[in-house]
């Protein structure tokens, strides 16, 4: 029996990184300053300056909290409607519900799977207060048209950057367009910690101030509660890890893009496969390499038999999730999102996937269609 090709694995493909990570952990352990210490402060500065001059990053507990706190900082709450793509991960919609606002779902673009200004505009009502574009699978949204739309209707924009650290629209990194942006450092994300982590990025001083206090029980000064906050602090050990990984993010993303290009070349024209498409001016950092086929389940089973692990992003669109029945949507409301859920399958793609492993995936996918 051949070894499995994993869907994802933590592989230290840059020489020396594992040692650096271990040293950083020991260093924090020896220093003994575990909450909002030097590492969190330094990571926040380094991440902000990586993204763009004039931005502030605020480390929080996870990507979900980054979304929730961003929305709260912008005054989005009960009575407000927030436009969200109908094909994101559940976290995005949950964050809107968490602040008691109403998520208004919108069909994604047929080819990029991202929110478009044209579709978002159709969903705007007098109650709309914000747009929440998700840079899905690692591809930047068309941010100029979304920002223009937001200005036209005086809406806030919160970017969900959980899958797209380092992606850019027209050479400007995502996370720097909206009023606030939410990043997740969940371990498998393009920039991942060794546990949970997240950050809010903003160039609005009021948003930054709110987030800094809110994540730490509303304190600006110790024991003085300026507002009713929560505990959602980026962990000091995670920040130490992220400082090191951030230095290699560009390299990790370049490796993802190289692997994606091999798939794009080798799977072009195979069977009925629809390969990922990248829109003009948008860069793609391939958090997920999603392909589409009418024979999705059969392909997944065939690959499984060949020892190749795949994943489905996402098997049930947001509007058909049992938890959201109360939103009142039903089957047929979002045909593009529904078709995506039925036809999508994600192939193994991560820094450190070997040439042999990728060849096996390509060969197996081709064989599947030859047998048909």
Ligand X SMILES: *Cc1c(COP(=O)(O)O)cnc(C)c1O
The nearest distance, CB 229 to ligand X, in angstroms, is: 18
Q: Smallest distance, Å, CB 59 to ligand X?
A: 12
- Closer of 230 and 270 to ligand X (Cβ): 230
CB of 260 to ligand X, least distance (A): 18
Cβ closest to ligand X, residue 160 vs residue 338: 160
Exposure string (b/e) for 116-132, b if CB count within 10 Å is 16 or more? bbebbbeebeeebbbbb
CA dihedral 186, 188, 191, 193 (to 10 degrees): 50
**What is the side-by-side order of every strand in the sheet holding 56-60?**
56-60, 198-202, 180-184, 156-160, 128-131, 81-85, 102-106
Is the CB of 161 or the CB of 336 nearer to ligand X? 161
Residues that bind ligand X (CB under 6 A): 62-64, 88-89, 91-92, 134, 160, 162-163, 184, 186, 196, 198
Select 196 or 235, whichever has its Cβ closest to ligand X.
Answer: 196
Q: How far is the CB of 195 from ligand X (least distance, A)?
A: 10
- CA–CA distance, 98 with 165 (Å, rounded to integer): 24
143 within 8 A of 173, measured Cβ to Cβ: no
Q: Based on the number of CB atoms within 10 Å of its own CB, is 366 exposed (0-12), middle (13-18) or buried (19 or more)? A: middle
Could you tell me if 310 and 347 are in contact, meaning their C-beta atoms sit under 8 angstroms apart? yes
- Phi and psi at 92, nearest 5°, equal -65, -50
Q: Which two tokens stand for residue 80?
A: 């407000």
∠ at Cα 235 (229, 241), nearest 5°?
150
CA 355 to chain centre: 26
Nearest residue relative to ligand X (C-beta)? 63
Side-chain half-sphere CA neighbours of 363 within 13 A: 10
Identify which of residues 69 and 74 has a Cβ nearer to ligand X in the complex: 69
Residue 110 designated active-site: no
Q: From the CB of 198, what's the least distance to ligand X, in Å?
A: 5
The one catalytic residue in 100, 110, 129, 189 is: 189
Active-site residue set: 189
């Amino acid at each position: 029996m051949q070894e499995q090709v994993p869907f994802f694995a933590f592989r230290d493909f840059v020489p020396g990184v594992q040692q650096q990570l271990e040293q950083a952990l020991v260093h924090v352990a020896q220093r003994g300053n575990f909450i909002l210490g030097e590492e969190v402060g330094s990571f926040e500065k380094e991440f902000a300056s990586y993204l763009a001059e004039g931005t502030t990053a605020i480390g929080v507990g996870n990507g979900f909290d980054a979304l929730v706190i961003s929305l709260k900082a912008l005054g989005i709450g009960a009575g407000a409607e927030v436009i969200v793509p109908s094909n994101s991960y559940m976290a995005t919609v949950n964050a809107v519900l968490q602040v008691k606002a109403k998520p208004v779902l919108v069909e994604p673009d047929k080819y990029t799977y991202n929110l478009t200004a044209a579709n978002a505009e159709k969903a705007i009502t007098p109650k709309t207060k914000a747009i929440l574009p998700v840079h899905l699978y690692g591809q930047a949204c068309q941010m100029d048209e979304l920002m223009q739309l937001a200005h036209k209707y005086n809406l806030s924009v919160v970017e969900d950057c959980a899958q797209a650290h380092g992606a850019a629209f027209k050479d400007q990194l995502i996370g720097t367009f909206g009023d606030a942006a939410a990043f997740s450092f969940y371990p498998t994300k393009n920039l991942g910690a060794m546990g949970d982590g997240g950050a809010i990025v903003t160039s609005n001083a009021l948003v930054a101030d709110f987030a800094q206090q809110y994540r730490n029980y509303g304190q600006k000064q110790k024991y003085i509660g300026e507002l009713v906050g929560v505990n959602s602090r980026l962990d000091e050990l995670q920040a130490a890890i992220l400082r090191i990984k951030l230095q290699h993010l560009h390299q990790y993303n370049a490796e993802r893009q190289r692997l994606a290009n091999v798939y794009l070349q080798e799977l072009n024209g195979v069977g009925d496969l629809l390969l990922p498409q990248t829109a003009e001016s948008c860069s793609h950092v391939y958090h997920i390499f999603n392909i589409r086929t009418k024979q999705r389940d059969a392909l997944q089973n065939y690959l499984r038999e060949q020892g190749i692990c795949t994943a489905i992003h996402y098997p049930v669109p947001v509007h058909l999730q049992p938890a959201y029945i109360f939103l009142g949507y039903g089957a047929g409301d979002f045909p593009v999102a529904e078709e995506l859920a039925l036809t999508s399958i994600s192939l193994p793609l991560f820094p450190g996937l070997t040439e042999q492993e990728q060849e096996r995936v390509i060969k197996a996918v081709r064989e599947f269609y030859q047998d048909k």
